[in-house]
Amino acid sequence: MRRTLWGRSTSSNVMKVLWTLETLKLPYERIDVGGPFGKTDTPEYRAMNPTGLVPTLQEDDFVMWESNAIMRYLCTANPLPAATLFPQDPHVRARVDQWMDAQQTNQNRPGGVVFLGLVRTPEKDRDMTAIGRGVRELGNAYALLEPHLAKHPYIVGDHLTLADIAWGVHVHRWFNMPIERPDMPALRAWYDRLLENPIYREHVARPLV
């Protein structure tokens, strides 16, 4: 089977899939599209992913998009290596799902406002009011994690799961942007723990661009 991940490596949503593929030790090739690489407007790409966004996963003639759904699919299709990443126990899996969805609903919007505003927008064009509001909302989103990370090393328990991947690609940005952060020692300890993971260091903990 030929597996292709379409998407630039600087995208947080592509990083989620890269981290999952590497953790599951699945072979793949990655093709740069999106951002400065463009090529997401072509009829061929839109036929694979009508949103024109990245990532897109292609396995022979099976194609799908939406980063969190791709991560779930890769684990469901490869249950043995995914035993701890996306556990089969219904309660544990529900908790992983809950936190994955919370990333998309609570973290993603303010995270985008702050990251795009501070990292990808020239200083003279920045809407500092929107960015300031985004920083506060983002702090509230990370505060959801703090009491759980104070109880166990990863979001759902003792092991890295898809929930950690969904939030973990973003927490590197949170700790490396010039913003005021409420004190969250358990969140910081979790980020430091992620930094010990060679896959995280190679694919996620990179200069912000």
Ligand X SMILES: N[C@@H](CCC(=O)N[C@@H](CS)C(=O)NCC(=O)O)C(=O)O
Tokens of 205: 């903990």
CB of 98 vs ligand X, minimal distance in Å: 17
The answer to whether 39 and 45 have CB atoms below 8 angstroms apart is yes
- DSSP per-residue string spanning 105-151: IIIHHHHHHHHHHHHSS-GGG--HHHHHHHHHHHHHHHHHHHHHHHH
Q: Is 113 in the site for ligand X (CB under 6 A)?
A: no
CB of 147 to ligand X, least distance (A): 26
Residue appearing with tokens 């898809």? 162
Helices marked H in the chain: 12-24, 43-48, 67-77, 90-102, 108-119, 128-151, 162-174, 185-195, 198-203
Q: Is 132 in the site for ligand X (CB under 6 A)?
A: no
Tell the smallest beta-carbon distance from residue 60 to ligand X (Å): 21
- Asked if residue 48 binds ligand X (CB under 6 A), the reply is no
Alpha-carbon separation of residue 176 from 84, 147, 165, 167, 205 (angstroms): 29, 22, 17, 15, 10
Which of 13, 23, 161, 197 touches ligand X (CB under 6 A)?
13
Q: Which is nearer to ligand X, 9 or 78 (CB)?
A: 9
40 binds ligand X (CB under 6 A): yes
Of 5, 24, 34, 148, which lies in the binding site for ligand X, with binding defined by CB under 6 A?
34
| Residue type for position 116 | L
Q: Where does this chain touch ligand X (CB under 6 A) — which range of 63-71, 119-127, 144-152, 182-190? A: 63-71
The nearest distance, CB 89 to ligand X, in angstroms, is 25
> Binding residues for ligand X, how many (CB under 6 A)?
12
Nearest CB to ligand X, comparing residues 13 and 161: 13
66 binds ligand X (CB under 6 A): yes
Q: How far apart are CA 139 and CA 84, in angstroms?
A: 28
Residue 103 as a binder of ligand X (CB under 6 A): the answer is no
Residue with tokens 């003279």: 124
Residues that bind ligand X (CB under 6 A): 11-13, 34-35, 40, 53-55, 66-68
